[in-house]
Structure 1
C-alpha cells in the first residue's frame, strides 16, 4: 500500500512537471509569436514573396515587432501579406512607411522589414496597407554576376593578346617599348619640351615684370588708365579729331564737286579745260592779238618818223633824257 502511494506521488509530480513545461513552452512560443500582446493588423501586397512563410518575423528599425499572420493570393498574380504588429509600436510606423522582404542573416529565414515614413504623415491604423518595395532578386543578381564574369574573361584574353603583341614589338606601343632609337628620340622630345617649358616660364616672368612696370605710378600707361583728367583731354582731342575728319571729308566732297564741274563742259572753266574747239579758237584769238599788237607797235614806230608826230616824239625823248 505504501509503495502504491509512493508511485502515485511520483506520477503526479512528473505530470505537474510536464504540465509546467508545456505551459512554459506555450507561453514562450506565444511570446515569440506575439500571441498574448495587444496587436494591430497591417497588410502589404507583393509580386513575389520569395519563400516567406506564416509565422516569420516582422522587423522595424532592427527590432522585432510582430509576425506574419496570413499569406493570401491577391488580384491576378500578387500575394497579400497580413501581419500582426504590436500595438505599442504603431506610433512609430507612419502611413507612408514601406514594407519589403529580407533575410534574417545571410541564409536565414525570410522576414518582413518595415522602414521609412515621415513625421508629416499620420500613424498607421488597424487594417492599413503599407507601400510594398520589392527586394533584390538574387537570381537576377547571379545572372548579372555571371555575365560580368564572362565579360571579365573576354577582357582578360584581349589583354593577354595585346600584351603579347607589345612584348613582341608589334604596333606603335610595342615599337616604342622595344626600339632603342625611338626611345632616344622620345627622350629628346621630352628634353625639348622641358626646355620650351623653361623658356615659357621665363617669358611669363618677363611679362609679369612688364605688366608690373606698366602699373607703376608716373608711367604713361598708368596715367592713361587712372588719370580721369587726362582721359577727358584725350576724349576731347578725339572729338576734335573726329570734327576735323568730318570737315576734311566735307572739303574732299567739295573738291570732288569742283573737279566734276571742271570735267564738265557746261561752265566756263570746264569749257576752257575740256572743249578742244574752244581751245583752238582761243589760241587763234591770242595769235591774232599777238599779231595785232606787233602791227600796232610797228605803226607806232612809223608814227615817230611821220611829220605831224616827229616834233612830239622829240620832246618826249628830251623829257626822258632829263
Structure 2
C-alpha cells in the first residue's frame, strides 16, 4: 500500500513537472511571437513580398522588435504586410521610417527591416502605414550582373582590337623609339629657356611701363611733357589747316581746269586761241622772229660801241675790274 502511494506521488510529480515545462515552453514561444506581450500594429505595402511569410521577424536598426502578423493582397500589384510591434517602440518608431524586406544572413529567412530617417517627425501610431523601399531581388541582381558581364566582354573585345591597331600603327614605333625621350627632354629644355626669356621680356616691359608712368626716358618724356603735347596739338592743327588749304587749292585748280576744258570745248578763251587759232600762232611766231632779229641787231650795235673810240676806254676798265674781282 505504501509503495502504491509512493508511485502515485512520483507519477503526479512527473505530470506536474511536464505540465510546468509545457506551459513554460508555450510562454516562451508566445513571448517570442508577441502573443502574450503588449503590442501595436504597423503596416507596410510592397509590390513584391520576396517570399516573406507570417511569423518572420521584424527588426528596427538590427534589433528584433516584432513579427509579421498577416500578409494580404490588397490589389493586383499591392501586398500589405501587417506587423506586430512591441509597445516599447511607440516612443522610437516615427512615421517617416522606411520599411524594406531583407534576409537573415546570406541565405536565411526573410526579415522586415525598419530604418529610421529623422528625429523630428511625429511618432507612428497603431495602424499607421509606413513608407517602403523597393526590394532588390536576387534575380534582378543576377540579371544586372549578366548584362554587366556582356558589356565587359564587349569592352574587352574592343580594347583588344584597339591594342592590335596600336601595335600595327606608327604610334607604337614612335613609343618604341629610344631617341624620343631625349628629343622630348630637349624640347622641354627649349620650352623652359623660351619661358625664361619671355619672363625677362615681361620684366623689361614692366620696367619700361613704370618708367613711362614716372616720366623717365624718351617715351616717358614724350608722354609726360605737357608743353610738347601742346606743340604736337598745334602742329596737328597746322597740318589740318594746311590740308584744308590744299583741299581749297585743289578745288580752285579743278575749277580752273574745268573752265579751260569748257573754253576749249566751246572754241573760245585764251587757251583755245593759243592751241587752235592759227592766226594768233602765226602772229606769235612773227613777233618772236622780230624779237630775235632785234636782239641780234642790239648785240651788233653793242659790239660796235665797244670798238668805238668814244667808249673803248670804258669797256676796257670794265674788263679789268672783272678780272680783279675773279
Q: Structure 2 length normalisation: TM-score?
A: 0.71
Question: Any conservation in 2 of the 1:265–1:274 contact (CA below 8 Å)?
Answer: no
Partner of 1:85: 85
Partner of 1:66: 66
Unaligned runs of 5+ in 2: 299-326
Q: Structure 1 length normalisation: TM-score?
A: 0.71
Cα displacement string for residues 80-121 of structure 1 (whole angstroms, at most 9, x for unaligned residues): 111111122122211121111111111111111111332232
Cα displacement string for residues 194-230 of structure 1 (whole angstroms, at most 9, x for unaligned residues): 2111111122123223433554xxx433223x53895
Question: Any conservation in 2 of the 1:263–1:273 contact (CA below 8 Å)?
Answer: no
Q: 1:227 to 1:79 in 2, by over 3 A?
A: same
> What's the CA shift for 1:69?
0.7
Secondary structure of the 2:123 match is coil
Partner of 2:54: 54
Q: Distance in 2 between matches of 1:272 and 1:175?
A: 80
Partner of 2:200: 209
Q: 1:135 to 1:190 in 2, by over 3 A?
A: same
Q: Distance in 2 between matches of 1:71 and 1:193?
A: 73
Cα displacement string for residues 231-280 of structure 1 (whole angstroms, at most 9, x for unaligned residues): 9945967797577556634543442342132022388xx64999695235
Q: Distance in 2 between matches of 1:220 and 1:174?
A: 56
Question: Any conservation in 2 of the 1:263–1:274 contact (CA below 8 Å)?
Answer: no
2:259 equivalent to 1:265: no
Question: Any conservation in 2 of the 1:264–1:274 contact (CA below 8 Å)?
Answer: no
Partner of 1:187: 178
Secondary structure of the 1:262 match is helix
2:121 equivalent to 1:121: yes
Partner of 1:256: 247
Q: Distance in 2 between matches of 1:72 and 1:185?
A: 71
Q: Distance in 1 between matches of 2:114 and 2:274?
A: 124
Question: Any conservation in 1 of the 2:215–2:224 contact (CA below 8 Å)?
Answer: no
RMSD across aligned positions (CA):
4.1
Partner of 1:279: 271
Cα displacement string for residues 12-43 of structure 1 (whole angstroms, at most 9, x for unaligned residues): 11111111111211221122112222221100
1:1-322 matches, within 5 Å, as: 1-153=1-153, 171-174=165-168, 182=173, 186-215=177-206, 219-224=207-212, 226-227=213-214, 233-234=223-224, 245=236, 248-249=239-240, 251-265=242-256, 271=260, 277-279=269-271, 281=273, 287=284
How many equivalent pairs are there? 283
Q: 1:209 to 1:30 in 2, by over 3 A?
A: same
Q: Distance in 1 between matches of 2:221 and 2:36?
A: 95
